[in-house]
């Protein structure tokens, strides 16, 4: 088990918030010599072009998991609540976790 770090948990939840916001609002245009789409087309995997930032959701889940790990030693109830949120995100694509509420709660613990 990792040592307790409330500041680390706050940073992880903050990053999860940013990632989920980016997944809905950010469009990045890249102009490499060979686009990633062209590379994927050559490889032939199936993918959903309607969700170009789908990976951001999983990155956010990863940050939420890290935050829960940071809190397990000193704040196991908060840690488990965060874990329940990311588990819901895994099983229900429509679920939006109350990350600002979680962040505000963590700020009161620091």
Cα separation of 40 and 35, whole Å?
9
Q: Are 95 and 77 in contact (CB under 8 A)?
A: no
The pLDDT score that the predictor gives to residue 28 is 38
The pLDDT score that the predictor gives to residue 32 is 47
The pLDDT score that the predictor gives to residue 93 is 81
Task: Give the mean pLDDT of 25-50.
Answer: 50
Instruction: Measure CA of the first residue to CA of the last residue in the chain; give whole Å.
Output: 20
The pLDDT score that the predictor gives to residue 110 is 83
Q: Is the pLDDT of residue 15 over 90?
A: yes
pLDDT digits (tens, 9 = 90+) for 43-99: 544 455 566 667 888 899 999 999 999 999 999 999 999 999 999 988 888 888 888
């Amino acid at each position: 088990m990792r040592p307790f770090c409330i500041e680390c948990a706050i940073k992880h939840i903050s990053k999860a918030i940013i990632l989920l916001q980016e997944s809905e609002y950010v469009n990045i245009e890249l102009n490499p010599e060979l686009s990633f789409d062209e590379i994927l087309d050559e490889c032939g995997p199936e993918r959903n072009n309607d969700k170009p930032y789908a990976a951001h959701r999983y990155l956010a889940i990863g940050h939420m998991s890290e935050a829960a790990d940071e809190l397990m030693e000193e704040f196991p109830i908060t840690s488990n609540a965060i874990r329940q949120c990311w588990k819901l995100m895994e099983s229900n694509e429509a679920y939006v976790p109350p990350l600002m509420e979680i962040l505000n709660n963590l700020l009161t613990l620091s």
